[in-house]
């Protein structure tokens, strides 16, 4: 077991300073290692579209400097005195949430992502009053409850996106009972979350249709990801032909869009599950859901329990994410490419290989 270091630890991350979302090196300190804390050296971190929303202040709630990153894979380098679940050297993962109250109903029911006092991995304030900072950094301190072991069957760089994109799509499939083989599912938006949706839905034995904004991803969706069908949302004839055929649609589009074209695709009792973080009201006419008893619902990441289950599911089914690995110096370009929908299907930063501490942060804040 590692020793407890009593001092705050200097660390270098890449932070956004304002709503341009441009990231640059930033020096700060990590809290002293508490009894249930685990210090991790960050190895890899995926880039989720939420990181872009937050860095650019799309939701109007961003605080700077902000070190994004919530698809974190690391190696344990220290553990607190009461950490029982992890040892120095373990390969671990951390996601979007790093704290919760532990007492409310969602916490007691092990769906702590729905705790009203949850603490986000960055752009939030920890119990000690310090800002939380994410995984675009050389190290993090995380309470043991919010870490999972990465199973040995998974490549570390590919495991990162499972910790947000993966569990985000696994959780509603499980929760809404969408696990029966033979269901007909739609994945709207083939990005980081969407591509994991195709993989999980196929592994569950569903008939999977990708619904995309263009024809550009058709061949990859069918040949590489194994989708059964591909619809271009602007192709009115194809959309009309597919009306009333889907049990569910997982909607991952990150910008404002109409819902009616997708509600029309659902069968009786079909479900539209909203995933995208959208800062403008969405609209639909009520008959679009009444005539067919359809549901519009949403889902937020997944619990730590579901994350462990999802990782085991990936090992069992031989699944992982499809990624492009980049160095931290490329992160601003990666953000631009993510915004213009030019990534197959997730960027993952090789954080350890980017030698952040050697590059030196800005002055200590």
Ligand X SMILES: O=C/C=C/c1ccc(O)c(O)c1
The residues that touch ligand X, with contacts defined as CB under 6 A, are 48, 50, 59, 96, 164, 277, 300-301
Distances (CA, A) of 46 to 114, 118, 315, 335: 23, 21, 19, 12
- Name the residue nearer to ligand NDP (CB basis): 83 or 196: 196
Measured from the CB of residue 136, what is the shortest distance to ligand NDP in angstroms? 15
The region of 31-39, 101-109, 216-224, 287-295 touching Zn ion under the rule CB under 5 A is 101-109
- Name the residue nearer to Zn ion (CB basis): 123 or 209: 123
Cis peptide bond upstream of 65, omega within 30? yes
- Name the residue nearer to ligand NDP (CB basis): 12 or 321: 321
Contacts of residue 36, defined as CB under 8 A and 6 or more positions apart, other chains included, come to: 80, 82, 83, 143, 144, 145
Nearest CA to 13 among 32, 28, 31, 34? 28
- Name the residue nearer to Zn ion (CB basis): 104 or 156: 104
Contact of residue 107 among ligand X, ligand NDP, Zn ion, none (CB under 5-8 Å per partner type) = Zn ion
Contact of residue 275 among ligand X, Zn ion, ligand NDP, none (CB under 5-8 Å per partner type) = ligand NDP
- Name the residue nearer to ligand NDP (CB basis): 64 or 300: 300
Measured from the CB of residue 128, what is the shortest distance to ligand NDP in angstroms? 26
Q: How far apart are CA 40 and CA 89, in angstroms?
A: 9
| Whether 163 contacts 93, CB under 8 Å | yes
| Whether 65 contacts 13, CB under 8 Å | no
- Name the residue nearer to ligand X (CB basis): 281 or 287: 281
Measured from the CB of residue 215, what is the shortest distance to ligand NDP in angstroms? 10
Contacts of residue 202, defined as CB under 8 A and 6 or more positions apart, other chains included, come to: 208, 225, 226, 227
Measured from the CB of residue 160, what is the shortest distance to Zn ion in angstroms? 11
Contacts of residue 305, defined as CB under 8 A and 6 or more positions apart, other chains included, come to: 110
Measured from the CB of residue 182, what is the shortest distance to ligand X in angstroms? 30
The region of 11-19, 92-100, 245-253, 276-284 touching Zn ion under the rule CB under 5 A is 92-100
| Whether 167 contacts 311, CB under 8 Å | no
Q: Which of 107, 201, 275, 304 binds Zn ion (CB under 5 A)?
A: 107
Contact of residue 59 among Zn ion, ligand NDP, ligand X, none (CB under 5-8 Å per partner type) = ligand X
Measured from the CB of residue 256, what is the shortest distance to ligand NDP in angstroms? 9
Asked whether position 100 contacts Zn ion by CB under 5 A, the answer is yes
Q: Tokens representing 76?
A: 């344990």
Measured from the CB of residue 213, what is the shortest distance to ligand NDP in angstroms? 3
Q: Tokens representing 88?
A: 């120095």
- Name the residue nearer to ligand X (CB basis): 299 or 320: 299
Tokens 């869009």, located at residue = 257
Q: What DSSP designation does 224 have?
A: I
Which positions lie near ligand NDP, rule CB under 6 A? 48-50, 53, 164-165, 168, 189-194, 212-214, 217, 252-255, 275-277, 299-301, 338, 341
Contact of residue 253 among ligand X, ligand NDP, Zn ion, none (CB under 5-8 Å per partner type) = ligand NDP
Alpha helices, DSSP H, located in 264-340: 287-290, 304-317, 331-339
Asked whether position 119 contacts Zn ion by CB under 5 A, the answer is no
Residue nearest to ligand X (CB): 50
Measured from the CB of residue 193, what is the shortest distance to ligand NDP in angstroms? 3
Measured from the CB of residue 231, what is the shortest distance to ligand NDP in angstroms? 10
- Give all strands (DSSP E) within 23-170, no chain letters: 23-30, 37-47, 72-79, 91-94, 97-99, 119-120, 139-143, 148-149
Q: What DSSP designation does 269 have?
A: E
Contacts of residue 285, defined as CB under 8 A and 6 or more positions apart, other chains included, come to: 260
- Give Cα 315 distance to the centre of its chain: 19
Backbone angles phi, psi at 273, to 5 degrees: -105, 110
Q: Which residues bind Zn ion (CB under 5 A)?
A: 48, 50, 100-101, 104, 107, 115, 164
């Amino acid at each position: 077991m590692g020793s407890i270091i009593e001092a705050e630890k200097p660390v270098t991350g890449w932070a956004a300073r304002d709503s341009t979302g441009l990231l640059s090196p930033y020096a700060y300190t990590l809290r002293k290692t508490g009894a249930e804390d685990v210090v991790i050296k960050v190895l890899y971190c995926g880039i989720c579209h939420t990181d872009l929303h937050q860095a650019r202040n799309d939701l109007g709630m961003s605080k700077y400097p902000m070190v994004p990153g919530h698809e974190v894979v690391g190696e344990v380098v220290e553990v607190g005195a009461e950490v029982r679940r992890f040892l120095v050297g373990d390969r671990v993962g951390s996601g979007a949430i790093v704290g919760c109250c532990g007492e409310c109903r969602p916490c007691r029911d092990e769906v702590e992502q729905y705790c009203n006092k949850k603490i986000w991995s960055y752009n939030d304030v920890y119990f000690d009053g310090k800002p939380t900072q994410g995984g675009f950094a050389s190290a993090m301190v995380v309470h043991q409850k919010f870490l999972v072991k990465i199973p040995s069957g998974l490549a570390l760089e590919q495991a990162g996106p499972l910790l947000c994109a993966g569990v985000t799509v696994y959780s509603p499939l499980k929760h809404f009972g969408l696990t029966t083989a033979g269901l007909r599912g739609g994945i709207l938006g083939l990005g980081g979350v969407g591509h994991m949706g195709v993989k999980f839905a196929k592994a569950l034995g569903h008939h999977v249709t990708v619904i995309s904004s263009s024809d550009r991803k058709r061949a990859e969706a069918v040949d590489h990801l194994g989708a059964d069908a591909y619809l271009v949302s602007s192709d009115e004839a194809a959309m009309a032909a597919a009306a009333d055929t889907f049990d569910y649609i997982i909607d991952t589009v990150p910008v404002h869009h109409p819902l009616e074209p997708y509600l029309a695709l659902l069968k009786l009792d079909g479900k539209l599950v909203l995933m995208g973080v959208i800062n403008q009201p969405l609209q639909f006419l009520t008959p679009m859901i009444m005539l067919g008893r359809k549901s519009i619902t949403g889902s937020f990441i997944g619990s730590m329990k579901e994350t462990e289950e999802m990782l085991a599911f990936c090992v069992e089914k031989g699944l992982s994410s499809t990624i492009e690995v980049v160095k931290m110096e490329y992160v601003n370009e990666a953000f631009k490419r993510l915004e213009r929908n030019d990534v197959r299907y997730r960027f993952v930063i090789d954080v350890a290989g980017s030698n952040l501490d050697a590059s030196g942060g800005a002055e200590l804040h």
